[in-house]
Amino acid sequence: MRVSFCCTGTTAQPWLDGLRAALPGAVVEVWSAGAAAADHAIVWAPPQQFFDEQTGLKAIFNIGAGVDALMKLRLPPEVPVVRLDDAGMSVQMAEYVCHAVIRHFREFDGYESDMARGEWSYRKPRLHADFPVGVMGLGVLGARVSRALAQFDFPVLGWSRSAKSIPGVQCFSGEAGFNDFLAATRIVVCLLPLTAETEGILRHDTLSRLQPGGYVINVARGRHLVDDDLIALLDSGHLAGAMLDVFRTEPLPEDHPFWKHPKIAVTPHTSARTLREESIAQIAAKIRALQNGTPVSTLAGVVDPKKGY
């Protein structure tokens, strides 16, 4: 068995060492132009040339949960694409989102500003019931985030393309449930996959439907958000603030208004990072399962090309 590793911007050697240990007997190599045909591919932001040459693949494994960039390439027909379905990212994401929600709810951002000015201040405690949190996207990450938020007694709502059921979460689904979801939400968290249908979903008309004093947390993809619409709603006072981890251009350009806007906090796409050891173990287990005849349809994380995730 031959495994080809083609991950742009990734230090290859630790991955190769881990994969070789997890797949004894397999040939695991970094791809270069003209390389021998591989049985399986492990990729992140690969060039089109990789797939043009590697026409005999049995499966493609993406070392991340998001596959929007991969779906834009011409992939070998009928070859399954398998994304990471957790690999330690869901706990990181739950930590980040809970931090962002609590920071806003408890007004810790205001305290930080006051303390920086040497001001000893006090703010009246607010009620959890007044800050319903709506999570857009209820996959592995979204479900974990929703359950974590519920532990802090926030009313938690969820919206997804298809109907879901999560204990302690009021679930909405489809186009029919979208407006009701927004109207019931004060803090919105975007964890949707990026598709043609979800690009620009955080725009003026949707964000305007949030309850007054709404707050936006985007940890999915920068292209979910229409930047100018967010700023306009912040400046009008309809939205109270935003915490953003993803952007249309990364790194965020030095002259982008998000940097200096007083109601926006930014972080450098760090809400949930790929954990190498966990990812290697997950990918290797799936490769072994395929080699042993397990149907690909039974694997977690198989991407539906029609949906794009």
Q: Are 146 and 139 in contact (CB under 8 A)?
A: no
Number of domain units in the chain: 2
CATH number of residue 155's parent domain: 3.40.50.720
- Same-domain status, 20 and 76: yes
Give a yes or no: residue 50 inside a domain. yes
- Same-domain status, 141 and 216: yes
Give a yes or no: residue 70 inside a domain. yes
What is the average per-residue pLDDT within 98-105? 98
String of DSSP letters for 52-69: HH----SEEEESSS--TT
Amino acid of residue 278: E
What are the pLDDT digits (tens) for 154-187? 999 999 999 999 999 999 999 999 999 999 999 9
What are the pLDDT digits (tens) for 1-36? 999 999 999 999 999 999 999 999 999 999 999 999
Distances (CA, A) of 266 to 16, 216, 259: 33, 12, 7
Give a yes or no: residue 206 inside a domain. yes
SS3 of residue 14 by DSSP: helix
What is the average per-residue pLDDT within 217-240? 98
Q: How far apart are the C-alpha atoms of 190 and 12, rounded to whole Å?
A: 31
Structural domain boundaries, residue 151: 89-266
Q: Catalytic site residues? A: 221, 269
What is the average per-residue pLDDT within 120-149? 97
What is the average per-residue pLDDT within 271-293? 96
Give a yes or no: residue 66 inside a domain. yes
Q: Token pair for residue 116?
A: 């920086």
- Same-domain status, 190 and 288: no
> Would you say the C-alpha torsion 49, 51, 56, 57 has a positive or negative sign?
positive
The pLDDT value recorded for residue 86 is 87
Give a yes or no: residue 160 inside a domain. yes
- Report the predicted TM-score, pTM, of the whole model to 2 decimal places: 0.93
Give a yes or no: residue 307 inside a domain. no
Mean pLDDT estimate for the chain: 97
Residue 87 has pLDDT above 90, yes or no: no
What is the average per-residue pLDDT within 82-92? 93
Q: Is residue 44 very low, low, confident or very high in pLDDT (cuts 50, 70, 90)?
A: very high
- Same-domain status, 281 and 219: no
- Same-domain status, 74 and 151: no
- Same-domain status, 280 and 227: no
Q: Is residue 71 very low, low, confident or very high in pLDDT (cuts 50, 70, 90)?
A: very high
